Structure 1
Amino acid sequence: MNLLARLARPGLGRTIINAVLGSAGLRMAGMGLGFLVGVQLARGLGAEGYGIYGVAMSVLTVLMVPAEFGMPQLLIREVGAAQVNEDWGRMHGVTRWASRAAWLSSAVISVAVLGWIIATDRAFEMPLTLTLLAGLSMVPLAVLGRQKGAAVLGLQHIVKGQLPDSVVRPAVFSLLLLIAHLFALRLSPALAMLLGTLSAAVAFVVVVAMYKRLLPTAVHHAAPISDSRRWWASAMPMALTEGMRSLQGNLATLVMGAMAPAAAVGVFRVAVSVSIAISLPVSLFTMIGSPLIARLHAQGDAARLQRLLGWLALGMTAGSILLALPFIIAGGALMARVFGDEFGASTAPLLILCAGGIVYSMLGPAVVVLNMSGYERKVSRAFGISVATLIIVMVPLVHFHGAIGAAAATALAMVLGNILMWWDARRLLALDSSVFSLMNARRGGDE
C-alpha cells in the first residue's frame, strides 16, 4: 500500500488528533518534571554548585551535536519511508549504520575530551573537570537513546517515541535526587551529573526495549542495505541546524562560565529554566498548529491559514503573558521561595528573557510556516544570523552586566531570528504569522 493510499484511509484525523494531544501532554509533563529537577538541583547545589553543573551540562549538550549529526531527524524520515514501502533491508541498514556512527563519534569525542584535560594539565579533582568526567558517558547514552526514539517515531508510534526522553529520563533523575536527599548525601555537581547519567541509562534501556518490541520482525531477517553516502549528505544540513539551535541555547552559559563566577552562572541558569517553563504555550501552540499549517498549505487555503496563524500567535502571546505575570508582580519573592534565597537575583534576567519570549510570541509560529512550506533554508539562515548576533554581543554584555547582559543578548538573538522568519513568511508566502494579523483582518472587515 503506497503512502497516498495510507493517507486516504479513514481515521487519519483521529490519529493526528491523538498524536497531537498525546504529544502536548508529554511536553507538559516533561517540562513540569524538568522544572522540578531544576528546583531540586538549585536547592541541593546552591548557586555556585548549580553554576558548575550548568557549565558542564552545556559543554556536554554541545558535544552531543556532532555525536548525533542530525541522525534522529534522518531516522524519522528513512524509517518511515522504509515502512511505507516495506523495504525492510533499507530499514535494517539505516538503523545499524546510524548506531555505528553514534558509537564511533561518541568514542572520538570522549577521547578528545580526555586528551584535552590531560594536555591542559587540568587537575582531576577540579569540580568542573570531575563533573564533565561524570557526565561523559551520558553522550553515547543520550545520542543512541534519541536515535532509537526517532526510529520509533518513524514507525508511527508518535507518543511512545517521545516518552523515554521527555518523561522517563527527568522522572528518574528527580527520583534519584530525592533518594540522595533522603539518605542525607551531600550533593555535589559531580554527583548530580552522575545521577543524571544514570537517568539517561534508564531511559536508554526503556527505549531500546520499546524499539525491539515495535520493530517489524521482517527487519531482523532482512539483509541490510547501505546507502551511507546519501545518508551522510542528508544528515549534514540537519546537523548544522541542530548545531545552531544547541549553540544558541548554551552559548550564554558557556560564556558566563568563562567570564563570571560560578554563582552568577547558577543565577542565570535558574532564570533560563523558569523562562523555558513560561514558554510552554509557545511549544504547545506550535505543536498543535504544525499539522494544521501543513494541511492548509497543501490545500492552498491561504485565507484559513492566515486566520489560523493569527489565532496561534494570540494563544502563544496570551499564554506567555499569563505565565510571566506572577514573576512580573512578585518575581523576587517567588524565586527566593522556590529556589532559595541565593536565587532572588535571578528575577532581573528572568524578566528580560520573558520580555524577549513575549515579543517572540507576538511574531507567531513563523518557523513552522517556513518549514511546512519548503523554505527550510530560510530557517537555517535565520538561525545562523541569530547565532552570529549572539556571539558578537554576548561577550561585551556579559563583561559589563553579568547575568543581566547574558539574558539581554539571548533575548535579542531570539527575537531577531523570529523577525527574520516572520519577514520571510510575509515576503515569500504573503502570510503574516504575527498577532497583529488579527487586528488587520478585523480592520479590513470593518472597512
Structure 2
Amino acid sequence: MRTLIGRPAMMASGLLHLWRSRSDTARALISGSTSGLILSAANRVIALIATALLARSLGMDQFGIYSLVIASALAIRTFVELGLPTLLVREVARADPGTASTDQSPVIRDAVLLAMTSSLSVAALIGLVLNVPLFFDRGSERVALLTITILLPLGTLSRILAAALIGKRELVRAQVVEFVIAPVVMLGGATILSLQFAQPTAENALAFQIAANASAALCAAVWLKRGSPARARSERRSRSSMLALGRAGLPFLIANIALLLNAQIDTVVVGIIGSSTDVALYRIGTQSAIVSTFALQVIQNVASPYIAKFHLDGDSARVRQIFRAIQAITFVFNLLIVILFALVGDEILALLFGRAYAVAQPVLVIISVGYLVNAACGPIGMLLSMTGHEKALSQITWLTAILNIGTAMLLGLNFGVIGVSVATALSVAAYHLLMRLYARRFFEL
C-alpha cells in the first residue's frame, strides 16, 4: 500500500512546497483548482436539478426518448472528435504564445476544421439513415433522433474550443464553458418546461439542449478570438497539416473508444441479466459514485497544460511535484467520500432519489472503492497523455476494456448486480494500476 499511494509523506511535502513556493505555477494551480472545484460542484447541483425537473415534466416515455438521444449523441461524439480534445490541450500548451513561430492559432484552426468535417459528415449520414424507412421505421422517435444531427457538431465544437482554452491556460474560462454555461441554459429550459410555458416534449427539451451547446461554443469561440493574435486573411493551412493532426489524435481516439466501452458495458450486462428495476438501481448507484471523481477531473484539467510544458522543458522535478500534489489531494478527498457512502450512503440516495433507491448503497460503495484506487494511483492517465505515451495508454485501455467485458459477464451471471459492480470496480482499479506500473519505467513517482 505504501508503494501504491506513492509515499504519503512525500506527497504531502510536495503539496506544502507547492503552496509555500508562491510561484506563478503554484498560484495558477491553486487558483484554478479552487475555481474548478467550485464550478464542478455547481455543475453537479445544476445538472441534478435540471434532470429532476425534466423527468417530472416530460413523463417517463418522453424523458426516456430524451435520454436516449443525449446518450446516443455523447457516444457518437467520442468517435467524431477523433481524439482531438486531449491532443489539442497538449499541442497548444507546448506552443509558446510569445513567439510567432509557435503561434497557437493554426493548430486550433486545424483541429476545429478537422473535427467539424468529421462531425458534419457523420451527422449527414445519420440524417440520411433516419429518413429512410428501410433502415429506421420508428416514426414516433424520428424527430427527436434527428436532433442528433445538430447536437453532434455543436457538442464537438464546444469540446474542441474548451480544450483549446485549457491548453492556452485560460483555465477558469474553460471551466465556465464546461461546467456553467450549457448547464445553466439547460436548467432554464427545464424550468420553462416544468412551468408549462412550452409543451413538455422530448423534442422541446432537446431544442433547449441545442441552445445550451450553442451558447457554450459561442462563448468559447469569443474568448479564444480575443486571446489570439491577428493574422493575415490570406494565410491558409495545408490539408497535410490537418491530416497529420488527425493521425496524431488517433491513439487518443482509440483510447476514448475503449473508455466508452468501459463506461457502457456494465449497464448493458445488467440489462441482459436483470430487470429494468435492476438497471435503474445500478444506474443510480454508479452515477452517484462518480461524485468521488470530480476533484481529480477538475485538478487534472488545471494541471495538464503545465505537465505538458514542464515535460517539454525537461523539468522532471516540477512534473513530479505537481503529480504528487494532485495525488495527495484526490486520495484524501476520495477516502472521505468512500467513508461517507459506507456510513450513510443509503440515506443520501433516499434523500436525493427517493426511499426506493436506498437499496443501491452496495453498488455505490463498491464502485467508489474502485475510484479510490484510481485516486491512489494519482493522475496517471493525464501524465501519460501529456508526455507522449498515448499509444501505451490506448493499449492499456483496450486491455482493461476487454477484461471488463469478460469479468462483467462472468460475475454478473453468477452474482447479479453486485457481481457487475465488483467487475466494474476491478476494471477501474486494474486500468490505473497498469498505467502506474508502465509509468514507473519513465518517471520517478
TM-score, normalised relative to structure 2: 0.77
Comparing 324-333 with 199-208, which one deviates more in the overlay?
324-333
CA drift of 1:421 comes to 1.6
Aligned equivalents of 1:95, 1:291: Cα separation in 2: 15
Question: Does residue 124 in structure 1 map to residue 139 in structure 2?
Answer: yes
Aligned equivalents of 1:191, 1:179: Cα separation in 2: 10
- Answer yes or no: is the 8 Å Cα contact 1:48–1:265 preserved in 2: no
Aligned equivalents of 2:343, 2:62: Cα separation in 1: 29
2:427 to 413, 418, 435: 413
Aligned equivalents of 2:303, 2:169: Cα separation in 1: 19
1:424 maps to which residue?
Answer: 438
2:99 maps to which residue?
Answer: 85
2:264 maps to which residue?
Answer: 250
2:336 to 317, 322, 331: 322
CA drift of 1:190 comes to 5.1
Aligned equivalents of 2:347, 2:98: Cα separation in 1: 55
1:339 to 342, 353, 359: 353
Counterpart of 1:149, as a letter, is A
1:223 to 235, 250, 261: 235
Specify the SS of the correspondent of 2:140.
coil
Counterpart of 2:99, as a letter, is N
2:177 maps to which residue?
Answer: 164
- Answer yes or no: is the 8 Å Cα contact 2:29–2:302 preserved in 1: no
Aligned equivalents of 2:70, 2:304: Cα separation in 1: 30
Specify the SS of the correspondent of 2:138.
coil
Counterpart of 2:156, as a letter, is V
C-alpha RMSD of the superposition:
3.8
| 1:225/1:105 CA distance change after superposition, 3 Å | closer
CA drift of 1:67 comes to 1.5
CA deviations over 1:54-106 (Å, ceiling 9, x no partner): 45433221200222112223444455527443259x75654444333333322
1:384 maps to which residue?
Answer: 398
Specify the SS of the correspondent of 1:394.
helix
- Answer yes or no: is the 8 Å Cα contact 2:189–2:208 preserved in 1: yes
Q: Equivalent residues in 2 for 1:111-190 (5 A)?
A: 111-117=124-130, 118-126=133-141, 131-183=144-196
1:353 to 350, 354, 367: 367
Aligned equivalents of 1:199, 1:192: Cα separation in 2: 11
CA drift of 1:418 comes to 1.1
Aligned equivalents of 1:101, 1:289: Cα separation in 2: 26
2:220 maps to which residue?
Answer: 207
Counterpart of 1:148, as a letter, is L
- Answer yes or no: is the 8 Å Cα contact 1:135–1:194 preserved in 2: no
1:29 to 42, 58, 61: 42
Aligned equivalents of 1:260, 1:142: Cα separation in 2: 33
- Answer yes or no: is the 8 Å Cα contact 2:127–2:149 preserved in 1: no
Aligned equivalents of 1:251, 1:136: Cα separation in 2: 25
CA drift of 1:239 comes to 1.9
- Answer yes or no: is the 8 Å Cα contact 1:352–1:407 preserved in 2: yes
CA drift of 1:326 comes to 3.8
| Structure 1: unaligned runs, 5 residues or longer | 1-9, 432-447
CA drift of 1:286 comes to 4.7
1:283 to 277, 284, 297: 297
CA drift of 1:141 comes to 0.5
CA drift of 1:325 comes to 3.5
Aligned equivalents of 1:108, 1:187: Cα separation in 2: 31
- Answer yes or no: is the 8 Å Cα contact 1:51–1:269 preserved in 2: no
| 1:373/1:102 CA distance change after superposition, 3 Å | closer
CA drift of 1:275 comes to 1.1
Counterpart of 1:221, as a letter, is R
Aligned equivalents of 2:27, 2:332: Cα separation in 1: 28
Specify the SS of the correspondent of 1:125.
helix
- Answer yes or no: is the 8 Å Cα contact 1:169–1:202 preserved in 2: yes
Specify the SS of the correspondent of 2:236.
coil
CA deviations over 1:161-219 (Å, ceiling 9, x no partner): 33212211112212221222222877555554443333212222322333333332x22
| 1:236/1:300 CA distance change after superposition, 3 Å | closer
Identity of aligned residues (%): 23
TM-score, normalised relative to structure 1: 0.77
Counterpart of 1:110, as a letter, is A
Count of matched residue positions in the alignment of Structure 1 and Structure 2: 416
CA drift of 1:414 comes to 0.7
CA deviations over 1:350-405 (Å, ceiling 9, x no partner): 22211222233333333345446554433322212121112223345555666544
Counterpart of 2:140, as a letter, is E
Aligned equivalents of 1:341, 1:45: Cα separation in 2: 22
| 1:416/1:236 CA distance change after superposition, 3 Å | same
| 1:130/1:261 CA distance change after superposition, 3 Å | farther
